[in-house]
Amino acid sequence: MIQVGKPVTGKNFIGRKKEAFEIIQYLKMGQSVVLIAPRRFGKTSLVLEILRQLKNEKHYTGFVDVFAHSDLNSLNKTITAEVLENSGLKKIYQNAKGSISSMMQNIKLKAAINEFEVIMGLEDSTINDWDNLSSSIDFINDFGEKSNHQIFFAFDEYGDILKYDKSGEIIKLMRAKIQQQKSASYIFSGSYESVMNSLFVDNKSPFYRMARIIKLGYLEENTCIKHMKDTLDSYDISISIDQIEKLVYILKGHPYYCQLAIQQVFLLYKFNKEIPDNEDILNQILQIDRGYLEKTWEDISTNKEYSFVLKHLSNFSHGLYSESAKMKINASRAITYLIGKGIIYKTKSTYDFYDPILKLWIQKKIYS
């Protein structure tokens, strides 16, 4: 079915062949990779797809969503569970809920416990979470090494790691470990907002130059067009290729909105028994995402420089500096901030929104 919101894998995953190939090559060379993109550009989907391909080639893999964990102990346990999954032991480990005697009942898990101290360490309240994190990171590499496998491990929403430690010591600890490891390569993924830039791109950061940085862009428009056409055809909804091209041009190949558009065409068609026009589809998307758009705007528009720049860019591609000078607004400072947050990017001659629907929403907001 046409679901939107959750990461997509397998046959629902489209495009990104070049990016996936490039990242996989780096990882296999032992080079860790940082994947940065604005919200909802398909980072998690791409990471899962890459791990799926590597797993198919019989490599070891692991995936942890840092955002999903509220304390370090649970993060450590998930790292361990993900590593153990390469021997099919994740469920057994998790179902034991920390009881060593339950774990010991499984012969394979017992062998792992005897070989790797970290598994017991995670249940030992005298060992602090930081030491256990350190051992968990070691475990990723050691587990691969002991079984003669390269292991590829992803930390999604990695910027969130700072919630455990604002001082950044945790990053230094991870870096020191990871740099020594021969059998593990890592993907760190996250959005611009989540300080990924300052963690990896800033030359004062401990992670600077440690990993290859890949900034994920839009999907290729042709890939989106074909996918939309094929999907809607498969539901006997024969929308013209010309209409799809115009729609994808507006949506710029933004993966989330392209999927949402397919879903909305489907619904509007089922309801009205006719193909909706692009205006209706876009209005529908604006309606669905209203909460997200309002929240995004609320966060940015508290600052009059940011809101001025965004209002201007939503309507005009030129004249930003002259208009802002008239208003005594420091446009450069606002632009630097908005780029850092993944809201706008530099084009050949001006700046544009990453999120085409946010742009449309601001346009409509100004004139309503």
Ligand X SMILES: Nc1ncnc2c1ncn2[C@@H]1O[C@H](COP(=O)(O)OP(=O)(O)OP(=O)(O)O)[C@@H](O)[C@H]1O
Residues that bind Mg ion (rule: CB under 5 A) add up to a total of: 2
Q: Which of 16, 32, 41, 44 binds Mg ion (CB under 5 A)?
A: 44
**What is the Cα–Cα distance from 262 to 335, expressed in whole angstroms?**
33
Residue closer to ligand X (CB basis): 15 or 276: 15
Residue span binding Mg ion (CB under 5 A) among the ranges 39-47, 68-76, 145-153, 259-267: 39-47
Q: What are phi and psi of 61, to 5 degrees?
A: -140, 170
98 binds, among Mg ion, ligand X, none (CB under 5 to 8 A by kind): none
Question: How far apart are CB 196 and Mg ion at their closest, in Å?
Answer: 12
164 binds, among ligand X, Mg ion, none (CB under 5 to 8 A by kind): none
Q: What are phi and psi of 259, to 5 degrees?
A: -65, -40
Residue closer to ligand X (CB basis): 134 or 259: 259
- Token pair, residue 153, equals 């491990």
C-alpha distances out from residue 157 to 24, 162, 187, 272, Å: 19, 11, 11, 40
Residue closer to Mg ion (CB basis): 44 or 185: 44
15 binds, among Mg ion, ligand X, none (CB under 5 to 8 A by kind): ligand X
Q: Where are the alpha helices (DSSP H) in the chain?
A: 17-28, 43-56, 72-84, 90-95, 100-104, 107-115, 118-121, 129-146, 169-180, 196, 221-234, 241-251, 255-272, 278-288, 290-301, 304-315, 320-326, 331-340, 356-366
Residue closer to Mg ion (CB basis): 43 or 177: 43
254 binds, among ligand X, Mg ion, none (CB under 5 to 8 A by kind): none
Question: How far apart are CB 45 and Mg ion at their closest, in Å?
Answer: 8
190 binds, among ligand X, Mg ion, none (CB under 5 to 8 A by kind): none
How many residues are present in the chain? 368
Residue closer to ligand X (CB basis): 6 or 328: 6
> Are 144 and 151 within 8 A, CB to CB?
yes
Residue span binding Mg ion (CB under 5 A) among the ranges 36-44, 142-150, 237-245, 253-261: 36-44
8 binds, among Mg ion, ligand X, none (CB under 5 to 8 A by kind): ligand X
Question: How far apart are CB 280 and ligand X at their closest, in Å?
Answer: 20
Residue closer to ligand X (CB basis): 35 or 137: 35
Interface residues with ligand X (CB under 6 A) are: 4-8, 12-16, 37, 39-45, 191, 255-256, 259
**Residue closest to ligand X (Cβ):** 42
Residue closer to ligand X (CB basis): 16 or 77: 16
Question: How far apart are CB 347 and ligand X at their closest, in Å?
Answer: 21
- Mapped onto helix, strand or coil, the DSSP state of residue 89 is coil
Question: How far apart are CB 37 and Mg ion at their closest, in Å?
Answer: 9
Kindly state the greatest CA–CA separation across the chain.
75
283-307 burial string, b = 16+ CB within 10 Å, else e?
Answer: ebbeeebeeebeebbeebeeeebbb
Residue closer to ligand X (CB basis): 20 or 286: 20
Tell me: does residue 194 bind Mg ion (CB under 5 A).
Answer: no
**Number of C-beta neighbours around residue 106 at 10 A:** 16
**What is the Cα–Cα distance from 323 to 352, expressed in whole angstroms?**
17
164-178 burial string, b = 16+ CB within 10 Å, else e?
Answer: beeeeebbebbbebb
Question: How far apart are CB 124 and ligand X at their closest, in Å?
Answer: 34
Binding interface with Mg ion (CB under 5 A): 43-44
